[in-house]
Amino acid sequence: MKVLIIGNGGREHAIAWKLNQSPLVSKIYCCPGNAGTAQIGENIRVDCNVIEDIADFVEQNKVELTIVGAEAYLAQGAVDYFQMRGLNVYGPTQAAAGLESSKSWAKEFMFKYHIPTAHSQTFSHPEAAKDYIRQTGVPIVIKADGLAAGKGVVVAFELETALKAIDDCMVAQIYGEAGTTVIVEEYLEGEEVSLLAFSDGYLAVPMLPVQDHKRIGDGDTGPNTGGMGTYAPTTAFTAAIKEKVVNEILIPTIQGMKNEGTPFVGTLFIGLMLTSDGPKVVEYNVRFGDPETQVVLPLLESDLAQIFIDCVSGKLNPDSIKWKMGKTAVCVVAASGGYPGKYQTGEPIDGLEEIRNSLVFHAGTKFNFNGDIVTAGGRVLNVVHLGNNIGAAIDGAYRDLALLSFEGMYYRKDIGRRELLRSGV
């Protein structure tokens, strides 16, 4: 079967890499893809912002399954459009993608189905939001309602910061439409864990739990990024916590969506805070996470293409999903100097061919006119190492990362350290 993956991040390269191992898959297309996906499959020459053109390509080339990587396409109804044209596609419909594209809708949904999450209020007038913040006090969390590319949340420890966040969002409208409604939310304290799950609309199967490193600097300092590194599984997510999350969050979410008439098919990503009062939902995403996917898929034993087919046809079999037990994966992101602010692109990347013992998933890379691989984005490469324990995985990832270089290359030095301290090996 021919497949097409929409997106261009490390996540999409990881999906392509895993699908490439499936005996069911004969050809992988990516739109737009990157220099990494080009080495596994073919990056097609179609304007990937135009969903109609992608669907035309899929029809003409008899692509049997399309996987939508990024949230913007899902929120715009890419899945609905493919379905309307009778094309097989893995991902939620526009209505089901509301779990991510409207945080206020997601909050109402959780409230209705008694799914544990932070207390919150939704506002469409800045003065009302500010009055509420003054009454409640800090710490407090302010969130733009819509999609803001991971930049629409302010965790405020000072009243001024919180009030300014309201002005930025609702008055200056720095996130545009996405911030005309805001959610003001109770601050949750605890370990943050990402749990992804495959769902066919009826039932969901959790993947291994992941911890991300969102801040740019070591020791979780500096501004937020798309994610600077991950590891899986995390021992912070105990069997008892897993049971609670599955019963109190995952199952009610999938059943609730079915009940709403908008069954969720695709990858459901639950952002969790493990509080002293039990696990609570920070947010939902409706697709694979980046860089969560880069550690989860290398630990998946089973055939990803078969899982996608089973989800799309409503026949997901929980027993068919197996993980590599006893292995820990660490992903360290190499970013362009200056990211998440301004950065240079077009810098040649050295050392890729020297890496033997780790996986390298490309993010912002491309081939230049000479056929050399150069930087083309903020996050550039993901080095993923599988070890018998967290310590071995960390050492392996950093050893191989040291073989790579490009002008201005930056990476965090402490990916996985928290887990190392917790687990002791």
Residue 347: name its binding partner from Mg ion, ligand ADP, none (Cβ under 5 to 8 Å by kind).
Answer: none
Q: Which is nearer to Mg ion, 11 or 130 (CB)?
A: 11
Q: Which is nearer to Mg ion, 90 or 284 (CB)?
A: 284
- Minimum distance, C-beta of residue 271 to Mg ion, in the bound complex (Å): 5
**Cβ at position 400, least distance to Mg ion in Å:** 28
Residue showing the smallest CB distance to ligand ADP in the complex = 283
Q: Compare residues 51 and 118 and give the one whose CB is closer to ligand ADP.
A: 118
Report the alpha-carbon distance of residue 313 to residue 162 in Å, rounded: 46
Q: Toward ligand ADP, which CB reaches closer, 138 or 392?
A: 138
Closest contact distance (angstroms) between CB of 294 and Mg ion is: 16
Smallest gap, in angstroms, from Cβ of residue 285 to Mg ion?
Answer: 7
323 backbone dihedrals φ, ψ, rounded to 5°? -115, 155
Compute the least distance from the CB of residue 283 to Mg ion, in Å. Answer: 5
Residues that bind ligand ADP (CB under 6 A): 118, 141, 143, 150, 152-153, 155, 185-188, 192, 214, 271, 282-283
Which among 63, 61, 53 has a CA at the least distance from the CA of 32? 53
417 interacts with, out of ligand ADP, Mg ion, none, CB within 5 to 8 A per kind: none
Residue nearer to ligand ADP on the CB measure, 57 or 237: 237
Q: How far is the CB of 181 from ligand ADP (least distance, A)?
A: 14
CB 59: neighbour CB atoms within 10 A? 12
In the complex, what is the shortest distance from the CB of residue 286 to Mg ion, in angstroms, rounded to a whole number? 12
Q: How far is the CB of 141 from ligand ADP (least distance, A)?
A: 4
Of the candidates 99, 329, 108, the residue with the CA atom closest to the CA atom of residue 199: 99
d(CA 122, CA 129): 8
Q: Which is nearer to Mg ion, 271 or 408 (CB)?
A: 271
Residue 141 interface partner, choices Mg ion, ligand ADP, none, CB cut-off 5-8 Å depending on type: ligand ADP
Of the pair 156, 296, the CB lying nearest ligand ADP is at 156
CA 16 to CA 40: how far, in whole Å? 7
185 binds, among Mg ion, ligand ADP, none (CB under 5 to 8 A by kind): ligand ADP
Nearer to ligand ADP, 81 or 284 (CB): 284
Work out what residue 188 binds among ligand ADP, Mg ion, none; the CB cut-off runs from 5 to 8 Å by kind: ligand ADP
Nearer CB in complex with ligand ADP: 186/395: 186
Find the binding residues for Mg ion in span 261-280 (CB under 5 A).
271
Nearest alpha carbon to residue 88 among 24, 176, 10, 11 = 24
C-alpha R_g of the chain? 21
At closest approach, how far in Å is the CB of 147 from ligand ADP? 8
Name the site residues for Mg ion (rule: CB under 5 A): 271
